[in-house]
A and B are shown apart, each in its own frame.
Chain A
């Protein structure tokens, strides 16, 4: 059971927008920075968002992150078939002193 809760799956059509939620508690998301990763099976996960809403160089602005209270959201606009992947949120839990991830969300681009 992950400390961070994500929907198991989301789907949308090419060109559309999708959001993926990540819910936690005060000791993790509430007080700390959230990051987001894209993971295609058999490959290395890729960092999409760090410190809640910052994009590493090379990540297109179609990807965005936000945080409110104990929840965070990843937004993806202009969906492409190449965006089909698993997406994970992550953060630090200060109460347990542990890095934590969400259970992952599978994005399907219909």
Chain B
């Protein structure tokens, strides 16, 4: 059974870059045709999809974050990573990594069958 674990700083200063890594265990990040996703949840709010990456490097990003976000993959370490630049307090959230099934041609779909436990990132000076 695949497991995902987020890691990274829990506190980031405003205007700096948020960097998180998701380590995948119990399966290869290259197998199964999955896309690897980042999702966040602002305090007391719902879920927000940030973007995803295929092991080949193909990415899709939320248009509302596209100018600030970058997702990369390291297949040798079975990890993928998130970078979010120029953060503000509005980026304070619990960040989840998740394995996704992704169909981009209609009927399209994206669903997440394995999730990490989430990591709280606070943006504050």
Residues of chain A whose beta carbon lies under 8 Å from any beta carbon of chain B: 2, 31-35, 37, 39, 43-47, 50-51, 56, 88, 90-92, 94, 96-104
Contact = CB atoms under 8 A, between A and B. Distances in A.
Contacts of A2: 46
Interface of B: 37, 39, 45-49, 52, 60, 62-64, 96, 98, 101-104, 106-113, 115-118
Identify whether the interface residues of B are mostly helix, strand, loop, or mixed: strand
A35 B47 CA distance: 13
B49 A32 contact: no
Contact of A98 (B62, B101, B117, B118): B62
A56 B113 contact: yes
B107 A104 contact: no
Given A43-B117, A44-B118, A47-B113, A100 B49 contact: yes
A97 to B, nearest CB: 7
